[in-house]
Amino acid sequence: MLSVLQTLRHQLQGALERAWPEAAAAARATGQPLDPQLEPASRPEFGDFQANGALPLAKPLRQSPRAIASAVVERLAADPAFTALCLPPEIAGPGFINLTLRPEVLAAEVARRVGDPRLGVPLATAPPVAGAQAFAGGSDAPVPGDAAVAPIPLDPVIVDFSSPNIAKEMHVGHLRSTIIGDCLARVLEFRGHPVLRLNHVGDWGTQFGMLITHLKEVAPEALERADAIDLGDLVSFYRQAKQRFDTDPAFQAASREEVVRLQGGDPLSLKAWTLLCDQSRREFQRIYDRLDIVVQERGESFYNPLLPAVVDDLRAAGLLVEDAGADCVFLDPDKPPVIVRKSDGGFNYATTDLAAIRWRFAPPPKGDGARRLIYVTDAGQASHFAAVFAVAQRAGWVPPGGRLEHVPFGLVQGDDGKKLKTRSGDTVRLKDLLDEAVQRAEADLRARLAEEGRQEEEAFIQEVATAVGLGAVKYADLSTNRITNYQFRFDRMLALQGNTAPYLLYALVRLAGLARKGGEHFPASAREGSLPPLQFSEPREWALVRHLLSFDAVIVEVEEELLPNRLCGWLFELSQVFNRFYDQVPVLKAPPEARVSRLALCRLTADTLRLGLQLLGIQTLSRM
C-alpha cells in the first residue's frame, strides 16, 4: 500500500502545515519541511499507520506533543479526502497519531489486486535527476505508479554473481553468491529493470599455465581433434596439475612459459584454454539448470584487451605511482596501495575489476551503459571492493547517479560453527550437497506416504522431493540476513515446520487444494467485472488482508536494500497468517455471501505466495 501511504503522508503534512503555517514556512526555508513521520503501525492494535511526528515538534512549537497531535487530527477531520480513507484517528501514548483505514478501502485494495499479474507492485521508474528531488513530502523516494508518468527507459542493472573458477568444481563457496544473486536479479527484473546477470568466471590467470601444460602432456590428442574431449573429473585434473606445479621445478618453469604463450595468443595454447573452459562450462551449466538459474558468462578474459586502457586512464588522471616496480594507486598514503600493474608487467585482479567497472558504466557500444552495479561476493572481499570502487570513483568512471554496491555475505558453516567441510575435511561439492538435500526430502516424503497409507506415482515423488530439497537449500540461505555466517543444517532446513521452504510450500498446497475443490467459484479476476464488492468480517480475514497489502513495500525494500531475507520473512509471515485463517475460517463451506470474498482472498494469497517463491527462485507445488 505504498501509494496509500504516500497519499496519507501528503495529507498529514498538509494538516501539519495548516496548523502551523509560520513554523512550516520556516522549516521549508531550511530545506527540512515539517515531517509527520508516517510509517506502518508497529503493532496491529495501533491500526494501519502511525504518525510519530508530533513528538519531536514539541520543543520547537512549545506545545505538548498531544496538543500538537490533536491539532493535526482536527485538520485531518476537516479533510474529506482523508476521511474517505481513514476512520477517525486516535491519539495514543505520549502523542502518536494512529490511523486505521476504512474497511471498504482495504477491501477495494484487495479487489484491485485479484487477477492483477503484478499484484499491486508498481514498475520501477527512472530515478529523478540528482538535485531535482526536493518536493513536498520530505526525503522519501517518489513512489512509482503514484502518478501517470510516461515511462522512461531504465538503464541496466548489473548483478555480478556466482563466478566459479574454470577447471574447478562448484562447491559450497559458490552456493550463496549463486542463490542470492539470482534472487536479487529476479526481484530487480520483476520491478522492471533491464538486468544483466553476469557470471564473472575465473577463466584467465596464472593457474592456466599449469593446467595447459598438464593437459598438453596428459592428453595431447585433445588438441588435435576438433571436438572437445571429456576430461572426466576436472577437480582431480586440477589437483594433479597443482601437485606437479608444487613439486616439479621443471613443470613450474614450463607453466610460466605457457602463461606467456597464452597471453601472447598462441593458437595451440588458446585451443587448450578453450577446451578447459568448454569442459567447465558444461559442468557449471548442469548445476545452473538444476537450480533454475540463468546467468550469462562473461569471464575475466573478456576484460583482457581492456586492461591497458585502465592503466592509461589512471595515469592520465594522475593517480598512478610507481612503487617497487609496480604501478600503484595510493588511496591513503599510509595504507597498502591498489596495484594495477605488477612489477613483472602483468595485470592482476584489481585491474580486471577496474576494467569491468569502466566497461559496465560506459555507454554502448563500448560498454553496458549500466546505472547500478551489484557484486554478490563473500564478505572477505569487502576491503578489496571498497578500494576498487574508490579508485573507479577517482578515475571518473562512475556516472552521476551511478551506484556501485558490494553485496557481501558470510560463510557457510557446519554444525561446529566452522567452515563447512566433508567428514574427510574436503570442501563440499555443490552437486553432492544438492543430491543429499533431494535424497533426504525424498526419504521424508516416502516415510510420510507410508505413514498415511498414501499411494503416489514415482514421478510425483521425484517432483516433490526435488522441489522440497532444492527449495529448502535455497530458502535456508536466503532467509537469514546474508551478512552473517550461516549454519548449514539439512535437518533444520528440511524441517516440516518453522521458517522453512516446506512450510511455505505446504501453505501453497493448501491453497491449491481449495482452488481444486472450489475451482468453479474461484474468481479469475476483478477486472472481468465478475467480482462483487468484497466483505470481510473475521479478525483472521483482516489480518490476511492487511498483510497481503504490504507486498509492494517489501518488494521495493528488497530492490533497495538487496536483502532477500526480508522477502523470506514476509512470506513466512504470510504463510502463518494464512494458516491461522485457514484453521479457523471456513472457505468452501462458508455461507455464500462470505464465500466469494474469502475465495478472492485465497486467490490473492496463492498468487502472492507463488510469485514470492518465484522471486526467491523456488519451484512451487500444488500437491505434496
Partner RNA sequence: GGGGCUGUAGCUCAGCCGGAUAGAGCGACGGUUUCCUAAACCGUAGGUCGUGGGUUCGAGUCCCGCCAGCCCCGCCA
Interacting residues with RNA between 496 and 515 (CB under 7 A): 496-499, 502-503, 506, 509-510, 513-514
Separation between Cα atoms, residue 115 and residue 118, nearest integer Å? 9
Which CB sits closer to RNA, 108 or 260? 260
**Pick from 98, 269, 279, 620: which binds RNA (CB under 7 A)?**
98
Separation between Cα atoms, residue 31 and residue 134, nearest integer Å? 8
Cα atoms found within 13 Å of the Cα of residue 271, Cβ hemisphere only: 16
Which CB sits closer to RNA, 502 or 617? 502
The three cell numbers locating residue 320? 598512478
Which CB sits closer to RNA, 108 or 141? 141
Minimum Å gap between C-beta 592 and RNA is: 14
Which CB sits closer to RNA, 280 or 565? 565
Which CB sits closer to RNA, 82 or 155? 82
Which CB sits closer to RNA, 317 or 495? 495
Residues 517-536 that bind RNA (CB under 7 A): 517
The three cell numbers locating residue 369? 551503459
Biggest CA pair distance of the chain: 89
Sheet (strand 372-378) strand order: 296-297, 195-199, 157-160, 372-378, 403-409
Instruction: Write the binding mask 410 to 429 for RNA: x where contact by CB under 7 A, - elsewhere.
Output: xx-x---x------------
Q: How many CB atoms lie within 10 A of CB 213?
A: 25
Residue 412 CA: distances (Å) to CA of 161, 260, 443, 477, 598? 16, 37, 25, 9, 42
**Pick from 239, 282, 315, 342: which binds RNA (CB under 7 A)?**
342
Which CB sits closer to RNA, 222 or 277? 277
Query: Which is it for strands 412-413 and 486-487: parallel, antiparallel or unpaired?
Result: parallel
339 counts as binding RNA under rule CB under 7 A: yes
Evaluate whether 523 touches 599 at the Cβ level (below 8 Å).
yes
440 counts as binding RNA under rule CB under 7 A: no
Which CB sits closer to RNA, 224 or 583? 583
Evaluate whether 460 touches 432 at the Cβ level (below 8 Å).
no
Instruction: Write the binding mask 167 to 206 for RNA: x where contact by CB under 7 A, - elsewhere.
Output: -----------------------------------x--xx
Minimum Å gap between C-beta 485 and RNA is: 6
Cα atoms found within 13 Å of the Cα of residue 182, Cβ hemisphere only: 25
Residues 231-290 that bind RNA (CB under 7 A): none
Q: Which stretch binds RNA (CB under 7 A): 153-161, 229-237, 332-340, 431-439?
A: 332-340
Residues 132-171 that bind RNA (CB under 7 A): 140
Q: What is the DSSP letter of 565?
A: H
Which CB sits closer to RNA, 214 or 440? 440
Separation between Cα atoms, residue 337 and residue 620, nearest integer Å? 49
Minimum Å gap between C-beta 585 and RNA is: 6
The three cell numbers locating residue 10? 501528503
**Pick from 235, 326, 390, 398: which binds RNA (CB under 7 A)?**
326
Evaluate whether 581 touches 587 at the Cβ level (below 8 Å).
no
**Pick from 169, 444, 552, 559: which binds RNA (CB under 7 A)?**
444
Separation between Cα atoms, residue 538 and residue 552, nearest integer Å? 24
Evaluate whether 350 touches 338 at the Cβ level (below 8 Å).
yes
- Alpha helix ranges (H) inside 362-500: 382-395, 430-452, 458-479, 490-493
Query: Helix, strand, or coil here: 406?
Result: strand
Residues 533-592 that bind RNA (CB under 7 A): 557, 561, 563, 565-566, 569, 572, 575-576, 579-580, 582-589
**Pick from 128, 308, 325, 539: which binds RNA (CB under 7 A)?**
325
One-letter amino acid identity for 268?
L
302 counts as binding RNA under rule CB under 7 A: no
Q: What is the DSSP string of 281-344?
A: HHHHHHHHHHHT---EE--GGGGGGGHHHHHHHHHHTT-EEEETTEEEE-SSTTSPPEEEE-TT
468 counts as binding RNA under rule CB under 7 A: yes
Minimum Å gap between C-beta 340 and RNA is: 10
Q: Which stretch binds RNA (CB under 7 A): 20-28, 128-136, 342-350, 428-436?
A: 342-350
44 counts as binding RNA under rule CB under 7 A: no
Minimum Å gap between C-beta 224 and RNA is: 30
**Pick from 21, 30, 43, 247: which binds RNA (CB under 7 A)?**
43
Evaluate whether 208 touches 257 at the Cβ level (below 8 Å).
no
Residues 474-493 that bind RNA (CB under 7 A): 480-481, 483-487, 492
Q: What is the DSSP string of 125-155?
A: -PPPPTT----TTTTPPPPTTSS-PPPPPPP
Separation between Cα atoms, residue 401 and residue 399, nearest integer Å? 6
Separation between Cα atoms, residue 70 and residue 93, nearest integer Å? 12
Residues 357-396 that bind RNA (CB under 7 A): 379-384
352 counts as binding RNA under rule CB under 7 A: yes
Minimum Å gap between C-beta 529 and RNA is: 26
Minimum Å gap between C-beta 163 and RNA is: 7
b/e sequence 227-248, b meaning 16+ C-beta within 10 Å: ebeebeebbebbeebeebbeee
Minimum Å gap between C-beta 225 and RNA is: 30
Which CB sits closer to RNA, 222 or 284? 284
Which CB sits closer to RNA, 67 or 509? 509
Which CB sits closer to RNA, 229 or 449? 449
Q: Which stretch binds RNA (CB under 7 A): 87-95, 191-199, 279-287, 429-437?
A: 87-95
Which CB sits closer to RNA, 155 or 203? 203
Separation between Cα atoms, residue 200 and residue 298, nearest integer Å? 5
Q: Which stretch binds RNA (CB under 7 A): 120-128, 257-265, 422-430, 441-449?
A: 441-449
Which CB sits closer to RNA, 155 or 298? 298
Q: Tell me the number of residues near RNA by CB under 7 A.
A: 98
